[in-house]
Amino acid sequence: MERIVRRLNTSEEAELDSLFIAGLEILPIQKQNEERFILLAVHLILESIRMGHSLPQDMSHDDFCAQMGVVYGEQLCMLLQWDWVYLTLGTSYEGAAVMNPDRTAALFPIPTIHRWTQQKNSNRCLVLFEELESYPEQKKFVILH
């Protein structure tokens, strides 16, 4: 499968920035600069949604997933030195993704958050982050979820 990676353009960066700010505002935390605290808050709000609680501020599910996806992706960038990119995978998928520095692993955080909010799937928010902290060097490219 053909893989094309490019830097985000200015308008894509601006869109992610606005989603990030909006996402931080709906998290149930006061101090947003505590390392890993945001990850825990994302995990907890996903669990709340999975248990049937209403979305914050009566927002749409897609908007919620976009905001939390960007918040989660940004935490990977800040804590693990990953980077935001625009990733195209053949004709099957394309969009904003985060990738590790050696470009062997990628995560599309917005659709991943969408998957984690569904009760039939597990919420791997914290588990995936812990796995990535000790992620072994890969020779093959892998999409994480």
Give me the DSSP letters along 2-48. -EEEE---HHHHHHHHHHHHHHHHHSS-S-TTSTTHHHHHHHHHHHH
- 57 confidence band (pLDDT: 50, 70, 90): confident
| One-letter identity of residue 1 | M
Q: Average pLDDT of the chain?
A: 93
Q: Name the band, by pLDDT with cuts 50, 70 and 90, for residue 61.
A: very high
The residue length of the chain stands at 145
Selection from 53, 72, 56, 74 nearest residue 64 by Cα = 56
Q: How confident is the model at residue 28 (pLDDT cuts 50, 70, 90)?
A: confident
Provide the residue range defining the domain that includes 130: 3-144
C-beta separation of 116 from 47 below 8 A: no
96/110 Cα distance (integer angstroms) = 8
Instruction: Calculate ∠ Cα 37-38-43, nearest 5°.
Output: 100
The total number of structural domains in the chain stands at: 1
Q: Is the pLDDT of residue 72 over 70?
A: yes
CATH number of the domain to which 140 belongs: 1.20.120.1090
**DSSP symbols for 90-114:** TTTEEEEEEE-TTSSEEE-HHHHHH
Contact 86, 6 (CB under 8 A): yes
Q: Is the pLDDT of residue 75 over 80?
A: yes
Question: How large is the average pLDDT for residues 33-46?
Answer: 88
- Token duo for residue 99: 């990738």
Mean pLDDT across the stretch 56-85? Answer: 96
